[in-house]
Amino acid sequence: MMDVGRHPRIKLLTYSELEEVSGYVGNFKVKVRKKARYVDENECNACAECFKVCPVAVPDEFQQGFSSRKAIYMQLPQAVPSAYVINMEDCLGNNPIACGKCLEVCEKKCIDYDAQDEFIDRAGTFHPSHRS
């Protein structure tokens, strides 16, 4: 995964879902939803200070629920990019009771509770012969 992230000819879209595919063989268009992480992946230095103060503990899906994670967390130790993410369904900051503890301790100030999903359009000339 890290090699893929560093490859000059690969654009890695993490935390993203394919929304729409149109076109035909040789001329595809895709729309990708890049889900809001609520943490700027370019600024986060993975210091984990936010993780330490987050009061939420929920079952960790990556560990099949055998351990817990916080509402702000790194999805897996080797995550690419090496940045934290907030699950807003778990976050107290998204409920009537505001929390905000993670933003208080984040020296990089790279947390944005109002972040929105982004949509990315890509056109490509994928052809079955490109497979290898």
CA dist., res. 14 & res. 111, Å (int): 18
The number of angstroms, rounded, from the C-alpha of 119 to the middle of its chain's C-alpha atoms is: 14
Pair of tokens at residue 12 = 């890695």
Q: Which stretch binds ligand SF4 (CB under 6 A): 24-32, 57-65, 108-116, 117-125?
A: 108-116
CA dist., res. 17 & res. 33, Å (int): 5
CA dist., res. 125 & res. 8, Å (int): 19
Pair of tokens at residue 123 = 């056109």
Interaction of residue 79 with ligand SF4, rule CB under 6 A: no
Pair of tokens at residue 120 = 């990315």
Interaction of residue 110 with ligand SF4, rule CB under 6 A: yes
Interaction of residue 57 with ligand SF4, rule CB under 6 A: no
- Figure out which of the listed residues 31, 34, 35, 108 binds ligand SF4, where binding follows CB under 6 A: 108
Interaction of residue 45 with ligand SF4, rule CB under 6 A: yes
**Residues at the interface with ligand SF4 (CB under 6 A):** 39, 44-50, 53-54, 56, 70-72, 84, 86, 91-93, 99-102, 105-106, 108, 110-111
